[in-house]
């Protein structure tokens, strides 16, 4: 199994999404010594904004297509994903490769892959909460992966900027949740 592990947080070792995505990868590889791992740190080595010329370089797309499982650390910045992660998505949503338009509408072509996202959010956004309309991270990622034929799984740590106690509790809960992913 080849795992593609992506991080995007600018917070280095203090990052919750990095800790959770690492734990997910640990769980996926725990009994699989044959796993191949490709790591891409989009904060340390950002992809440039998309240009027409950048379309010619298909290396990021090929890396994605070659993976059996993709683990993504996704912090919420300004109610959505970091621009570093958006630049990566701009390279994997490619007509004719990961989706196509048909007479019956768009069709995803990237199915058969497991995508697991570690979300880290400063606030709470559950349905019905005052800030729920501002949630454009999980909803966006679910939308784009559905679009290319994948049902992503999410492990979320929420309320991380409410208090230190809440932060610890939410991260512990999320790390605990990663254990079930090995099954
Ligand atoms: C630049 C910036 C913008 C942020 N914007 C939001 C936001 O809009 N909503 C929110 O709930 N949290 C926001 N946060 C808080 C982060 O989501 C939270 O600190 C989370 O832990 C970030 O993930 P990380 O620890 O992996 O970096 C923001 C943090 C930063 C640094």
CB within 6 Å of ligand 1 — which residues? 9, 11, 15-18, 75-79, 120-123, 160-161
pLDDT at 33 over 90: no
Give the model's pLDDT for residue 55: 85
pLDDT at 180 over 90: no
Q: What is the pLDDT of residue 75?
A: 98
Residues 123-149: tens digit of each pLDDT: 999 999 999 999 999 999 999 999 999
pLDDT, tens digit (0-9, with 9 covering 90-100), for 87-106? 999 999 999 999 999 999 99
How far, in Å, CA of 53 to CA of 118, rounded?
31
Q: Which percentage of the chain shows pLDDT scores above 70?
A: 99
Distance 18 CA to ligand 1 centre (A): 13
For range 21-47, the mean pLDDT: 93
Mean pLDDT value across residues 108-118: 97
Residue-wise pLDDT tens digits, 52-90: 998 889 999 999 999 999 999 999 999 999 999 999 999
Best residue among 41, 75, 124 to mutate for probing ligand 1's pocket (most ligand atoms within 8 Å of CB) is: 75
What mean pLDDT is reported for the chain? 96
Tell me the average pLDDT across 44-48. 97
């Amino acid at each position: 199994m080849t795992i593609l592990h992506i991080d995007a947080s600018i917070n280095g070792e203090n990052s919750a999404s990095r800790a959770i995505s690492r734990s997910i990868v640990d769980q996926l590889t725990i009994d699989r010594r044959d796993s191949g791992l490709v790591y891409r740190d989009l904060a340390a080595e950002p992809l440039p904004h998309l240009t027409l010329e950048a379309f010619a370089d298909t290396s990021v797309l090929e890396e994605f297509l070659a993976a059996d499982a993709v683990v993504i650390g996704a912090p919420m910045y300004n109610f959505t994903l970091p621009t570093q992660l958006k630049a990566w998505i701009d390279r994997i949503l490619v007509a004719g490769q990961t989706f196509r338009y048909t007479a019956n509408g768009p069709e995803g072509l990237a199915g058969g892959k497991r995508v697991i996202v570690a979300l880290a959010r400063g606030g709470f956004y559950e349905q019905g909460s005052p800030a729920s309309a501002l949630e454009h991270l999980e909803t966006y990622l679910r939308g784009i992966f559905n679009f290319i034929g994948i049902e992503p799984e999410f492990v979320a740590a929420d309320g991380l900027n409410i208090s230190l106690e809440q932060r610890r509790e939410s991260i512990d809960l999320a790390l605990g949740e990663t254990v079930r992913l090995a099954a």
